Amino acid sequence: MVETKEQTNDPAIDALFSVGAHFGYLRSKRHPSTTPFLFGTKGGIEIFDLEKTKNELEKAEAFVKNLARLGKQVLFVSGKNEAKAALFATAERLGQPYVAGRWIGGTLTNFKEIRGRVDKMLDLRSKREKGELAKYTKKERLLIDREITRLETLFNGLVSLISLPGALFVVDPRKEAIAVTEARAQGVPVVALASSDCDFSLVDYFIPGNDASRTSVSYFIEKIAKAYEDGREGK
């Protein structure tokens, strides 16, 4: 068991502590790669060393900031209920692509086909808005509307993704293992908020921290977003 201090002389660490970033999972769920980033346990729960979390977050922020300077996209990914709302809102604000729900296999490894389905959605939506579907029967228009809705559910977040992204930002790479595997296969770097049950070796820029709390997840999403904004603005 360890004792955690509520105040330090470092505002960044205090901020991490205040959002509960230090909480991992039960020790029985620990992945060995996370051990160097753990401070100990409290009540059976793994506790992250927030000094190390801060350092890894800064590395991730610097990488994302540089991507933005180069004009490259970051694809935001998470299907976790704790992350979806914040991830969607942040990606929309930044004008970046996102998957706030189920990852569709082949999104990166079969990108051409996925892009074709996105383009089909845009084409059907455009025809509907222009009234070009009036020539179809009522039943046919209903079927087309359903198809548009289905495609929007799957691909609406990928409209701005014209080519492979400069990086993925993932909340919980263990849950999003397929996305991480596809990114690695395509040479796309992965930045991830990863808790104590994740394999850090599969991620290029891992941020050791609580990936199961809305407060913590929202905090890290916003930190990555701010880094992207600063890079885009040349700060």
193-235 pLDDT per residue, tens = 999 999 999 999 999 999 999 999 999 999 999 999 999 998 7
CA distance 123 to 142: 16
Q: What is the DSSP letter of 30?
A: -
DSSP bridge partners of 46: 41
150-187 pLDDT per residue, tens = 999 999 999 999 999 999 999 999 999 999 999 999 99
Domains and CATH numbers, the chain: 51-104+164-232 (3.40.50.10490), 111-158 (1.10.287)
For residue 7, name the pLDDT band (cuts at 50, 70, 90).
low
Q: Output the average pLDDT for the chain.
A: 94
Count the helix, strand and coil residues of the chain and give each as a percent rounded to the nearest 5.
50, 15, 35
% pLDDT > 90, the chain:
93
Q: Does residue 4 have a pLDDT over 60?
A: no
Place of tokens 């506790």: 47
CA distance 89 to 82: 13
Q: Return the CA Rg of the chain.
A: 20
Average pLDDT over residues 21-47: 95
Angle, CA 62 vertex, CA 57 and CA 67 arms, to 5°: 125
119-142 pLDDT per residue, tens = 999 999 999 999 998 999 999 999
Q: Does residue 81 have a pLDDT over 70?
A: yes
pTM over 0.95: no
Angle, CA 67 vertex, CA 61 and CA 70 arms, to 5°: 145
Secondary structure (DSSP) of 159-210: TT--S--SEEEEE-TTTTHHHHHHHHHHT--EEEEE-TTS-GGG-SEEEES-
